[in-house]
């Protein structure tokens, strides 16, 4: 029996506090393997680039199904470098869903372009292709479908729109390592993709890290230059770049975890199926469903409930870690007030933002822990239903 499978078994009748994400259990699985390589790196002083980085880039490219993987400093840099590499800059517009982490929009702003927000579909809270089509203008250069919560966004429909309008598709694959649709794996569906290896991701480093993925050799070359001060050859700088490189310490962790990723994702799918069974008839709880053709990796398990804040407080009081992804749609944040959007403009994202609740989810979540989460959640939502 593998350590991963053993970790999901019940160990006691009372599971005690349930963490939102058990990162310590993940690190424990890879600790011996990682520490041995880190010791060698201390001896060789191989910290930037080197064999571990090159090996991870090769292995992750093969895993996703693309020709090129370029490791960078973090996921936000990955989106920015991808946009810069395809020529996005001042005066351009980039369409993206309003229900995403702000980093997606930040990267657009950082290259001097303007984020254009669109609503999501009510079933999966993924970017709505119809909204994308309606938002295209003569200044639109790129569409960023976000593979939110471990799903794969409807890139096939987005690509069809992009072809009609001569646009570029840049995937935000930060939450979807290993997810796929009928068309292929997330990260291999557009012209270029960006991903994050923030520690809490399905494939997480021991600090910040990210990568850009593409089949376009020219784009890959520009990304690598931009992340290394605009240089291919030391002290020869052909363009203005920056410093955003994957280091060998993080690459070592990522290589060890990549070998376990499919097993961990399978555990997440089993946990999602268990939640769906436990919460199938829970009053006032709307459980998530997969988009047809998708194999989701359940980075987050997001339900929708009435009186969400009361329920969240009740879960916390019971020792259950839960979170909100994301409480404020981007058009209502102070950072993007100057874009002129108004409340009510994106009704699905706005309505869902007051109801969404992310339950504990990890490869090491036990069935006893899930039963405890479901029991407390049922009690809280039942009390709310009775009060009304």
Catalytic residues: 201
Going by the DSSP 8-state scheme, the letter that residue 215 receives in this structure is S
Angle subtended at Cα 301 by Cα 131 and Cα 6, rounded to the nearest 5 degrees: 150
Residue 114 forms beta bridges with which residues? 93
Beta-sheet strands, E only, within 174-323: 180-181, 184-185, 192-196, 210-214, 231-233, 236-237, 285-286, 301-305
Beta-sheet strands, E only, within the chain: 68-72, 93-97, 114-118, 140-143, 168-172, 180-181, 184-185, 192-196, 210-214, 231-233, 236-237, 285-286, 301-305, 356-359
Q: Is the separation of the CB atoms in 115 and 105 below 8 Å? A: yes
Residue 126: C-alpha distances to residues 24, 97, 172 (Å): 30, 7, 12
Q: Is the separation of the CB atoms in 100 and 326 below 8 Å? A: yes
- Cα-trace Rg, the chain: 21
CB atoms within 10 A of CB 33: 16
Q: How many CA atoms lie within 13 A of 149 on its CB side?
A: 27
Beta-sheet strands, E only, within 283-355: 285-286, 301-305
With CA atoms as reference, report the closest residue to 318 among 279, 261, 372: 372
CB atoms within 10 A of CB 234: 8
Angle subtended at Cα 127 by Cα 360 and Cα 335, rounded to the nearest 5 degrees: 80
């Amino acid at each position: 029996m593998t350590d991963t499978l053993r970790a999901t078994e019940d160990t006691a009748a009372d599971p005690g506090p349930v963490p939102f994400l058990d990162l310590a259990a993940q690190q424990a699985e890879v600790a011996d393997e990682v520490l041995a390589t880190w010791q060698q790196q201390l001896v060789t002083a191989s910290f930037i680039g080197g064999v571990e980085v090159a090996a991870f880039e090769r292995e992750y490219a093969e895993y996703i199904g693309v020709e090129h993987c370029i490791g960078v400093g973090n996921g936000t840099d990955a989106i920015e470098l991808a946009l810069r590499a395809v020529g996005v800059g001042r005066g351009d517009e980039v369409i993206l869903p309003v229900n995403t982490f702000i980093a997606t929009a930040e990267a657009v702003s950082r290259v001097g372009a303007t984020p254009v927000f669109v609503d999501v579909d009510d079933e999966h809270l993924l970017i709505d292709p119809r909204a994308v089509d309606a938002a295209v203008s003569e200044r639109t250069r790129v569409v960023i479908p976000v593979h939110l919560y471990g799903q794969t966004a409807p890139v096939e429909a987005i690509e069809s729109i992009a072809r009609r309008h001569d646009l570029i598709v840049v995937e935000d694959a930060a939450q979807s390592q290993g997810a796929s649709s009928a068309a292929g794996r997330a990260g291999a569906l557009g012209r270029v993709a960006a991903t994050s290896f923030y520690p809490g991701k399905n494939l997480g480093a021991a600090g910040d890290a990210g990568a850009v993925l593409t089949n376009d050799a020219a784009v890959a070359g520009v990304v690598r230059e931009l992340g290394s001060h605009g240089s291919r050859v030391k002290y020869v700088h052909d363009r203005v770049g920056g410093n955003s490189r994957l280091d060998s310490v993080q690459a070592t962790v990522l290589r060890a975890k990549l070998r376990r990723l499919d097993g961990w994702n399978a555990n997440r799918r089993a946990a999602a199926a268990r939640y769906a069974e436990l919460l199938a008839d829970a009053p006032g709880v709307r459980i998530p469903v997969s988009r047809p053709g998708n194999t989701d990796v359940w980075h987050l398990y997001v339900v929708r409930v009435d009186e969400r804040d009361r329920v969240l407080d009740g879960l916390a009081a019971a020792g259950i870690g839960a979170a909100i992804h994301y409480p404020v749609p981007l058009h209502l944040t102070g950072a993007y007030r100057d874009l002129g959007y108004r409340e009510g403009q994106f009704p699905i994202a706005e309505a869902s933002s007051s109801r969404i609740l992310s339950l504990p989810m990890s490869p090491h979540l036990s069935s006893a822990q899930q039963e405890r989460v479901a029991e407390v959640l049922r009690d809280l939502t039942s009390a709310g239903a009775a009060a009304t």
